[in-house]
Amino acid sequence: MRIATWNVNSIRTRHGRVVDWLVDADVDVLAMQEIKCTPAQFPLEPFEAAGYEVVLHGLNQWNGVAIASRLPMTDIEIGFQGQPGFAKGHEGPDAPLEARAIGATIDDVRLWSLYVPNGRGLDDPHMDYKLRFLRALADDSARWLGENPGGALALMGDFNVAPTDADMGDPSFIPGLSTHISPAEREAFATLERAGLSDVVRPLVPEGYTFWDYKQLRFPRDEGMRIDFILGSAGLADRVVDARIERDQRKGDAPSDHVPVVVDLQGDDDDDDRPMIF
Check residue 270 and give its pLDDT.
55
Query: DSSP readout, 25-49?
Result: HT-SEEEEE---S-GGGS-HHHHHH
Q: Among 187, 190, 201, 199, which Cα is nearest to 245's?
A: 201
- Position 269 scores a pLDDT of 58
pLDDT per position as a tens digit, 242-251? 999 999 999 9
pLDDT score of 90: 79
Q: Hey, what amino acid is at 78?
A: I
Higher pLDDT, 91 or 23: 23
* pLDDT score recorded for residue 31: 99
State the average pLDDT over residues 58-70: 97
Note the pTM of the prediction, 2 decimals. Answer: 0.95
Asked whether the predicted pLDDT for residue 278 surpasses 50, the reply is no
Please check the confidence at residue 112 and state whether its pLDDT lies above 50: yes
pLDDT band, residue 267 (cuts 50/70/90)? confident
Q: Is 186 helix (H, G, I), strand (E, B) or coil?
A: helix
Whether 134 shows a pLDDT value over 70: the answer reads: yes
Q: Does the domain formed by 2-265 have CATH 3.10.450.50?
A: no
pLDDT in tens, 185-240: 999 999 999 999 999 999 999 999 999 999 999 999 999 999 999 999 999 999 99
The answer on pLDDT for 275 being more than 70 is no
* Long-range contact set of residues 179-184: C-beta below 8 Å, sequence gap at least 24: 179/118, 179/119, 179/120, 179/121, 179/122, 179/127, 180/119, 180/225, 180/227, 182/122, 184/127, 184/131
Residue-range domain boundaries for the chain = 2-265
